[in-house]
Amino acid sequence: MPSLLPKLIEDVNNLDVENKISCIVVTFNMGWALEVGHKLGIKGVLLWTASAITLAYCYSIPKLIDDGIIDSAGIPTKEQEIQLSPNMPKIDTANFPWRAHDQILFDHILQETQTMKLGHWWLCNTTYNLEHATFSISPKFLPIGPLMSNDHSNKSSFWQEDTTCLDWLDQHPPQSVIYVSFGSLAVMDQNQFKELALGLDLLNKPFLWIVRPSNDNKVNYAYPEEFHGTKGKIVGWAPQEKILNHPSIACFIS
């Protein structure tokens, strides 16, 4: 692909000499296109569809290695909490975004952190009010979110959605249900699951909790013995946009 892109750009530019390609917008996984654009004198923009803080930690991998916080394989040298900047939330080194995946992905992210520097801006699916501290990491961060899909028929998830939760929500009054979902990357261990379950039980409020299966299916997400709540519903995956638009939702924990 890198060898074909210059020819494609040339062909497009020859079709309309007055409206030549002046900027290339690519996702994080296509950093090589930024290299091509840079060599051709074309501005490049990185599009990151997740939170800005996640991109900030990926961008900071080389510094984390230099500071001895992680080794060259992305493994924390010791258990600790760190901050990339004083106003950003602390993160446990065990919870770095790449820790939920294998070495191949970390190596890929590390490589992309070099090419992303060629981008003039890093567009993030967020807002300044949500992550204002993160934007102090680099002036290249630019919030353009929230980005919402208009094609509701597009099913891009690998997990089958459990739509029974919508019927369950219909049974509750407006603004009465707590929605809990930590996304497709976050995987809790058994103790974290238990503590959150007990915390939700103490609230004594109806809640809908999305708990995706662990990658190795080794974690059994069953209610702990101390959990006596009857107001909660747990499903493996659900249509999030429809849930957030449902009138019964009062609060979103993520």
If DSSP codes are grouped into helix, strand and coil, which group holds residue 237?
coil
Rounded to whole angstroms, the Cα distance separating 146 from 128 reads 11
Q: Hey, what are 82's tokens? A: 């760190």
Element (H, E) at 242: helix 240-244
Nearest to 136, CA basis, from 82, 61, 86:
86
* Number of Cβ within a 10 Å radius of residue 119: 23
Question: How confident is the model at residue 76, as a pLDDT?
Answer: 92
Question: How confident is the model at residue 225, as a pLDDT?
Answer: 59
Rounded to whole angstroms, the Cα distance separating 48 from 200 reads 32
Between residues 101 and 63, the one the model is more confident about: 63
Going by C-beta distance under 8 Å and a sequence separation of 6 or more, which residues neighbour residue 105? 98
> Right CATH number for 5-143 from 3.40.50.280, 1.10.357.10, 3.40.50.150, 3.40.50.2000?
3.40.50.2000
Q: Which CATH class is domain 164-253?
A: alpha beta
Question: How confident is the model at residue 188, as a pLDDT?
Answer: 74
Considering the entire predicted model, what is its pTM? 0.66
Nearest to 122, CA basis, from 52, 43, 171, 202:
52
* Per-residue model confidence as pLDDT tens digits over 69-113: 999 999 999 999 999 988 898 999 988 888 867 788 899 999 999
| Mean pLDDT for the chain overall | 86
Rounded to whole angstroms, the Cα distance separating 195 from 218 reads 18
Question: How confident is the model at residue 217, as a pLDDT?
Answer: 53
Q: Hey, what are 211's tokens? A: 């708990």
Determine the average pLDDT of the residues in 158-180. 87
Q: Which residue ranges make up each domain of the chain? A: 5-143, 164-253
Question: How confident is the model at residue 102, as a pLDDT?
Answer: 74
Determine the average pLDDT of the residues in 127-137. 91
Question: How confident is the model at residue 227, as a pLDDT?
Answer: 58
Question: How confident is the model at residue 201, as a pLDDT?
Answer: 87
Determine the average pLDDT of the residues in 163-176. 93
Determine the average pLDDT of the residues in 131-142. 92
Q: Given strand 207-210, what is the order of strands in its sheet?
A: 232-235, 207-210, 177-181, 249-253
The one-letter code for the residue type at 230 is: T
Q: How confident is the model at residue 131 (pLDDT cuts 50, 70, 90)?
A: very high
First-to-last CA distance in the chain? 37
Long-range contacts of 165-171 (CB under 8 A, 24+ apart): 165/208, 165/233, 165/235, 165/238, 165/243, 166/239, 166/242, 166/243, 166/246, 168/208, 168/233, 169/208, 169/243, 169/246, 169/248, 169/249, 170/248
Residue 46, pLDDT > 60, answer: yes
Topology alike, domains 5-143 and 164-253? yes
